[in-house]
Amino acid sequence: MSGFNRDMPSPEESFENAPVVLRLSGVTKRFGSLTANDAISFSVRRGEIVALLGENGAGKTTLMNILFGHYVADEGTVEAFGKELPAGDPRAALNAGIGMVHQHFTLAENMSVLENIVLGTESMWLIRFDHRAARTRIGKLANDFGLAVDPDKRVAALSVGERQRVEILKALYRDARVLILDEPTAVLTPNETEALFRTLKILVAEGLSIIFISHKLNEVMAVSDRVLVLRGGRLVGESVTSRTTRAELAQLMVGREIPPPSVAPATVGGPILTFNEVSTARTGTGTPLDKVSFSLNAGEITGLAGVSGNGQAALAALLSGIERPMSGSITIGGKPVANWSPQAALSSGIGRIPEDRHAIGTIVDMSVTENAISERYRTRFSRHGFLDWSAARSFAEEIIRDYDVKCPSPETRIRLLSGGNMQKLILGRALDSDPSIILANQPTRGLDVGAVSYVHQRLLQARERGAAILLISEDLDEILALADRIVVISKGRLSAPSARGERSVREIGELMAGHQDAALELAGAGNAA
């Protein structure tokens, strides 16, 4: 890499001289009438970080699946290091030196870091595997790239940030020269994200190339050298990062200007739901709640910030009625709840927007109508045990109309709906009965910008009419934009609430990382002194 210097004032010019490591030419992929990728061409040069920006459904995943041979493109070619990759061969991309770190990690939890990294690289016929050589090599990689992780630790004992490092090491161990990271920051704390970005800079300084898939504009602006914007399966924009702006990218992504949600001052009423020292049982791998006390007030959005896996799932399960408290009590409208269940939650007036639209929120192989009535089929849509399908259908049509759900008909299977339309259906189902309490668990995750602002507006409307809303989100920007009051969850415990703007992003980040308020104050005092 002759003359390549990261500190040069206009880095884009130096990339023009760097050799092309990956080139996609006219890649097109159709699924029936849908064109997921439409003649996409771009190239990645050695030593640059290219951000692939796009909403969900823009075609990012399809493109990566083609690159990795999981799908065969209808037209177009993929070239790595000057050689065309054979279509539809997953090994070809790996052998050519392209590595991928998936959003959902693909690690065996019951095995050690070392075993996970070498998994699949050793021959099946080898009786004894040379662990010492592997260990030395991993140690060197970890050292060179600032990816500190104990090779003998079991993956189950690692934090999310450490697991991601293992995934990156795994790719490097396989001699990856091009690294693709799919939404790598979705599960990280702000500080872990910064550490990841530092690692990425080291990697490209060493001559690797990185494709950074994201829909978070801040991060794309912070880390990338060049940005490619996908929309509706087409490459709609390509720009050197330093020559573009957030607003410009956002507009490219959605194709129109999106106004930030306008939040009117809240008219807060009394508490509707109160948690009193609630703890939950440990189930599976999730973090249980540890003596959590808080209340949700009418006409107020309470934002629950936190890194994924710190008890949000337990809290959401509790409010949805799926879990019962192990100790402590829940009071709704002044009355303690008994016989807690999803049914009880519904009849107590809780509207629930679950985190996972596919696995929990809907039954993807059933129709829009069948999903629309799923929370009320016994009370509203059946008589003497027989379902009133015509009432059910008109209810589904009502939701489709009122919540702008785009689908061919109420008989369409949910599976065929886009994420945004699925979420609008769930929103309609949850909000149609004007619930007094709303649980919105990651209501906009994976949605395109248009759908995000739609969901935000609906939540703000519900707040306007006096609903008490708990907004659980791993997207701090979303919480900062919407919440009237913020609490931070860490290791199953809640911080004291703070009003809008009371804590800085850094302070919230510290709380997310598990530092206590008191410790923070001490640190602050120390800095001041």
Contacts to other proteins by CB under 8 A: 31-34, 70-72, 87-89, 320-322, 341-343, 345-346, 352, 354, 359-366, 370, 374-375, 377-378, 382, 385-387, 389, 416
Min dist. Cβ of residue 521 to other proteins (A):
41
> How far is the C-alpha of 7 from the C-alpha of 68, rounded, in Å?
33
Compare residues 222 and 416 and give the one whose CB is closer to other proteins.
416
Residue of 392, 386, 345, 359 lying closest to 373 (CA atoms): 392
**490 with 511: CB under 8 angstroms?**
yes
Min dist. Cβ of residue 340 to other proteins (A):
12
Three-state secondary structure readout of 5-31: CCCCCCHHHHHHHCCEEEEEEEEEEEE
Q: Tell me which DSSP letter residue 85 carries.
A: P
Compare residues 166 and 405 and give the one whose CB is closer to other proteins.
405
Min dist. Cβ of residue 32 to other proteins (A):
4
Compare residues 215 and 393 and give the one whose CB is closer to other proteins.
393
**484 with 261: CB under 8 angstroms?**
no
Compare residues 291 and 324 and give the one whose CB is closer to other proteins.
324
> How far is the C-alpha of 213 from the C-alpha of 215, rounded, in Å?
7
Angle between the N-to-C axes of helices 131-145 and 160-173, in degrees from 0 to 180, rounded to the nearest 10: 110
Compare residues 213 and 439 and give the one whose CB is closer to other proteins.
439
Min dist. Cβ of residue 328 to other proteins (A):
22
- CA separation, residue 59 to residues 98, 209, 236 (Å): 19, 21, 12
Min dist. Cβ of residue 418 to other proteins (A):
12
Q: For residues 470, 474, 478 and 482, what is the CA-based torsion angle, rounded to 10 degrees?
A: 20
Min dist. Cβ of residue 366 to other proteins (A):
6
**DSSP string for 242-264:** GG--HHHHHHHHHSS--PPPP-P
In this structure, what token pair is assigned to residue 322? 């799926």
Min dist. Cβ of residue 97 to other proteins (A):
21
Compare residues 129 and 389 and give the one whose CB is closer to other proteins.
389
In one letter, which amino acid is 27?
V
Min dist. Cβ of residue 406 to other proteins (A):
15
Query: 130: alpha, beta or left, given left = phi > 0 and alpha = psi -120 to 50?
Result: beta
Compare residues 288 and 361 and give the one whose CB is closer to other proteins.
361
Which three-class secondary structure state does DSSP give residue 511?
helix
Compare residues 257 and 365 and give the one whose CB is closer to other proteins.
365
Min dist. Cβ of residue 61 to other proteins (A):
14
> How far is the C-alpha of 193 from the C-alpha of 476, rounded, in Å?
13
Min dist. Cβ of residue 344 to other proteins (A):
9
Helix (H) or strand (E) holding 401: helix 389-402
Compare residues 71 and 403 and give the one whose CB is closer to other proteins.
71
Compare residues 261 and 342 and give the one whose CB is closer to other proteins.
342
Residue of 42, 47, 52, 48 lying closest to 22 (CA atoms): 42
Min dist. Cβ of residue 96 to other proteins (A):
17
Compare residues 34 and 148 and give the one whose CB is closer to other proteins.
34
Give Cβ neighbours of residue 295 (< 8 Å, ≥ 6 apart).
271, 272, 273, 274, 275
Which three-class secondary structure state does DSSP give residue 65?
helix
- Any bridge partners for residue 80, and if so which? 22, 83
- CB count in 10 Å sphere of residue 149: 21
Min dist. Cβ of residue 415 to other proteins (A):
8
> How far is the C-alpha of 362 from the C-alpha of 454, rounded, in Å?
19
**469 with 436: CB under 8 angstroms?**
no
Compare residues 71 and 294 and give the one whose CB is closer to other proteins.
71
